[in-house]
Chains A and B, each alone.
Chain A
């Protein structure tokens, strides 16, 4: 009983948020939900401000009529003092009002953005097929910002300005009723005319929003299709399409702006008419002696003061119109509902371990294409089903319907007797693991991506639910099962350790280095270039070859050496400066020749001594070199060449050979450098030696006490085997894997291979231990042995524990599935065990053996 209450109160907590989807909310509702305390404070401040604005007027009149007329200095000082205080107060309060407006407006904007983003993420997959990412970006980033401004002004602007207007108007009437009424008579005309012009502006604004949306669609399209554009050199076609939209937008924006300025001009015109009336009438009355001169002055300046609040009121009106047009346009676009409840509020999550029954399942696309047609299928809990058929037969669609990613139109999918379309997302993710054809990997570490599914289950709170998350042992087990273990280990071995971390590990690594030299030194000598004081290192750069050590003085870092004066003097002394400049110029010439016109792609620049972002500088330098001799270059240009030469690594940068003379000079230089540095900087340098860890090198190079020569997969395999053995002996394998889990996978996982991305996605689902596992061609990018490994795992470890639906592309792995369904044109044409179907010599037989 108690626990039930508890869960109910949790439900109520969730209910606190308004149930109305954000896309249905009106612009004004954001004013209501903004901070009422702040709005109240704002009204109080405004009331004081209005008072502070009227005071100077009265003072003005009194100064003229009383102080000056009666020649009383003390009154003059008093009134001027009050005037000054009132003006100061009005300015200070205006600033306070602006601050409050900004806080309220920006908070509302932040809420709008968050709510809309949260809403958009839950929209059905179908919605995103029709929607370009650019449009969502544009809506969230730019279109909503005026709505935020509006919410900030919504209370302050009308209240301040209307109060001010009323105050001034009453003051005017109080001064002189006739003049007052005449000068105010202008405003009703303005109120009548301005909205007519504003309607034109609104119409143009709506078109502007739509066209801007087309433009962002177009940009997104060409960016994502850039391969096709380049390979067809279709620049003209794309330019024409884009230019047409921009021209349309140009026209719309001009019309829109003209209307907006039209409102301002009209307003100005009418408002300026009223002083004209006052001069005419007031002047006449003053001449006749029916009006005091002081009163006329006060009247004129009070009348002038009407202008500012009125102008602000009109501006507010324009902001309101603009904001409501944009707001409605944005919200209309996203006004769709999620197909499934995100979480059920009145019950616990269902346990869906049980049979799967599909009855008369039909899926029709919006355009009326029947992708699935009367599918019937029954699986016991823990049974494994393979879906096969040509592409377009509906096998992926079926898997997606079962996994609740598509909402089916008719028929039933029953999981443990629950109808899938009635279940919440929460129910599904607690029970299902889904691996898609091209899994998405998020920016972050390997670990972040592995934990993604598990974290999502506990609402993304890493701290709160640490105990519910898989342990390191679980993670390592899954890594091994999916075969990504070696890759992660490799990432760990390629990590560079920080000086302060892993003190214990470093001692062990030095020990492993000795064992490696003893056990594998000879066998792997072909793949590793060992550090040797008397040999040139072709896989290390020139700087490393010269210093042959590391420094804790950061002016001696490789990338900064070329600007280090001590080092430059050393190069002169070792007769190395000229030959290195020569090497640098040859490197820049060759590299610019090969890569000069290529885009900044990792593939092109991996083997280049010039980084992608430096290419333009070196292009200019190469132009210089055509007309100048090396000694004619200025200091900066020489430094740039030297910089490149010091990076030169013959084993990687193949465009230039290392002249033998230079090689000998550098070896000579190495010992000269050591002699000099030992005297001049005795504490700054540590030279490579077997007993010391080298901090700016990777773990692997530290174990080698050298560098790998090759990226060749067979060599890597041999190296892996020996290293793993050594790591196990010293019991640090897991530590290295832990370091590897922190590897940054790059944006969209672009630092991983296709196979690694797929293995990671499979591991991510396995880690969740789901009751239902759906794999949509999940192993298509894997090599044979990895695929076989995962297939074996499914057949042994998962059979009986999880119901498996696998969309299969390669038919060599389906023999051991409990059932095989062959799909054709959205229907199941054959269903049964492998042997039976093959014996039948029907569709499956044809698929496996080819059509005769």
Chain B
């Protein structure tokens, strides 16, 4: 699938405009000035994957964040030799933002389960862009903190409603 077939037929909207709109809606970049979002949209790339293609392997040091434009991908964990699916990501999901801020080792693998179109940006490009707009780092940190906090909160609530009392012992990532 060519990335150009994804664009609307009007001829007025470029891929860049669409990507810019995507960036404006991702929580991670919320509150960043338009000039920086334009630069990020310009630097990001679209990639297509076939069912079974791997976006990143468990244990890999991956250096990019992904936004799913179309299709589905599954997160898998193979700790202990057995592969278990964790969850499925779909259109509109943003994955791997922390990799933009520093080196991380992927604890899971991400695999395409259908034909998949992703918008992605690498840490190198993100860092270079941030260097041009250094005053925006606090906004990104704020977005992440809120996200982690919300995650922990949800985890706590969900583990009470389910039958997983033991899971509650692992809550508290927001206290990092």
Q: Which residues of A contact B (CB under 8 A)?
A: 227, 230-233, 526, 529, 538, 590, 593-595, 597-599, 601, 603-604, 607, 650-651, 654-657, 659-661, 709-712, 714-715, 783-784
For residue A779, give the distance in angstroms from its CB to the closest CB of chain B. Answer: 12
For B127, the closest partner residue in chain A by CB is A603
| B59 beta carbon closer than 8 Å to chain A | yes
- Chain B neighbourhood of A710, CB < 8 A: 45, 47-48
Establish whether residues A656 and B47, one from each chain, have CB atoms under 8 Å apart when the complex forms: no
Establish whether residues B47 and A712, one from each chain, have CB atoms under 8 Å apart when the complex forms: yes
Interface of B is mostly: mixed
Establish whether residues B50 and A655, one from each chain, have CB atoms under 8 Å apart when the complex forms: no
- Chain B neighbourhood of A654, CB < 8 A: 14-16, 19, 42
Establish whether residues B2 and A594, one from each chain, have CB atoms under 8 Å apart when the complex forms: no
| B153 beta carbon closer than 8 Å to chain A | no
Establish whether residues B53 and A655, one from each chain, have CB atoms under 8 Å apart when the complex forms: no
For residue B120, give the distance in angstroms from its CB to the closest CB of chain A. Answer: 9
For residue B38, give the distance in angstroms from its CB to the closest CB of chain A. Answer: 5
Given that A711-B45, A714-B54 are known contacts, is A593 also in contact with B14, CB under 8 Å in the complex? no
Q: Which of B11, B39, B128 contacts A657 (CB 8 A)?
A: B11
Establish whether residues B42 and A714, one from each chain, have CB atoms under 8 Å apart when the complex forms: no
Establish whether residues A657 and B12, one from each chain, have CB atoms under 8 Å apart when the complex forms: yes
Q: Which residues of B contact A (CB under 8 A)?
A: 1-4, 7, 9, 11-16, 19, 38-39, 42-43, 45, 47-50, 53-55, 57, 59-61, 124-125, 128, 131-132, 134-135
CA distance A711 to B45 in the complex (A): 9
Give me 21 A-to-B residue pairs in the complex whose CB atoms sit less than 8 angstroms apart, sorted by A's number.
Answer: A230-B131, A231-B131, A232-B134, A233-B134, A590-B14, A593-B38, A595-B39, A597-B132, A598-B132, A607-B43, A654-B14, A654-B16, A654-B42, A655-B14, A656-B16, A657-B14, A659-B11, A660-B9, A711-B45, A712-B45, A715-B47
- Chain B neighbourhood of A529, CB < 8 A: 2
CA distance A604 to B124 in the complex (A): 11
For residue B106, give the distance in angstroms from its CB to the closest CB of chain A. Answer: 10
For residue A435, give the distance in angstroms from its CB to the closest CB of chain B. Answer: 19
CA distance A490 to B143 in the complex (A): 40
Establish whether residues B16 and A603, one from each chain, have CB atoms under 8 Å apart when the complex forms: no
CA distance A599 to B129 in the complex (A): 11
For residue A806, give the distance in angstroms from its CB to the closest CB of chain B. Answer: 19
Q: A604-B128, A656-B16, A714-B55 are in contact. List 18 more A-B contacts (CB 8 A).
A: A230-B131, A526-B50, A593-B38, A594-B39, A595-B42, A598-B39, A601-B128, A603-B128, A607-B43, A655-B14, A657-B11, A657-B14, A657-B15, A660-B9, A660-B11, A710-B45, A714-B54, A784-B61
For residue B54, give the distance in angstroms from its CB to the closest CB of chain A. Answer: 7
Interface of A is mostly: loop
Q: Which of A538, A607, A650 contacts B42 (CB 8 A)?
A: A607
For residue B124, give the distance in angstroms from its CB to the closest CB of chain A. Answer: 7
CA distance A712 to B49 in the complex (A): 10
For B61, the closest partner residue in chain A by CB is A783
- Chain B neighbourhood of A712, CB < 8 A: 45, 47
Establish whether residues A784 and B60, one from each chain, have CB atoms under 8 Å apart when the complex forms: yes
CA distance A715 to B2 in the complex (A): 14
Establish whether residues B42 and A594, one from each chain, have CB atoms under 8 Å apart when the complex forms: yes
For residue B60, give the distance in angstroms from its CB to the closest CB of chain A. Answer: 6
- Chain A neighbourhood of B59, CB < 8 A: 784
Given that A607-B42, A709-B2, A784-B59 are known contacts, is A655 also in contact with B128, CB under 8 Å in the complex? no
- Chain A neighbourhood of B39, CB < 8 A: 594-595, 598, 604
Establish whether residues B132 and A714, one from each chain, have CB atoms under 8 Å apart when the complex forms: no
- Chain B neighbourhood of A659, CB < 8 A: 11
CA distance A233 to B53 in the complex (A): 43
For residue B41, give the distance in angstroms from its CB to the closest CB of chain A. Answer: 8
For residue B71, give the distance in angstroms from its CB to the closest CB of chain A. Answer: 14
CA distance A593 to B34 in the complex (A): 11
Q: Which 6 A-B pairs have the closest CB atoms?
A: A657-B14, A231-B134, A655-B16, A659-B11, A654-B15, A712-B47
Establish whether residues A526 and B48, one from each chain, have CB atoms under 8 Å apart when the complex forms: yes
For residue A848, give the distance in angstroms from its CB to the closest CB of chain B. Answer: 16
Establish whether residues A657 and B13, one from each chain, have CB atoms under 8 Å apart when the complex forms: yes
CA distance A598 to B35 in the complex (A): 11
Establish whether residues A714 and B53, one from each chain, have CB atoms under 8 Å apart when the complex forms: yes
For residue A780, give the distance in angstroms from its CB to the closest CB of chain B. Answer: 10
Establish whether residues B4 and A538, one from each chain, have CB atoms under 8 Å apart when the complex forms: yes
CA distance A529 to B2 in the complex (A): 9
- Chain A neighbourhood of B135, CB < 8 A: 233
For residue A145, give the distance in angstroms from its CB to the closest CB of chain B. Answer: 38
CA distance A65 to B51 in the complex (A): 115
CA distance A528 to B51 in the complex (A): 19
Given that A603-B125, A655-B42 are known contacts, is A227 also in contact with B14, CB under 8 Å in the complex? no
CA distance A597 to B7 in the complex (A): 29
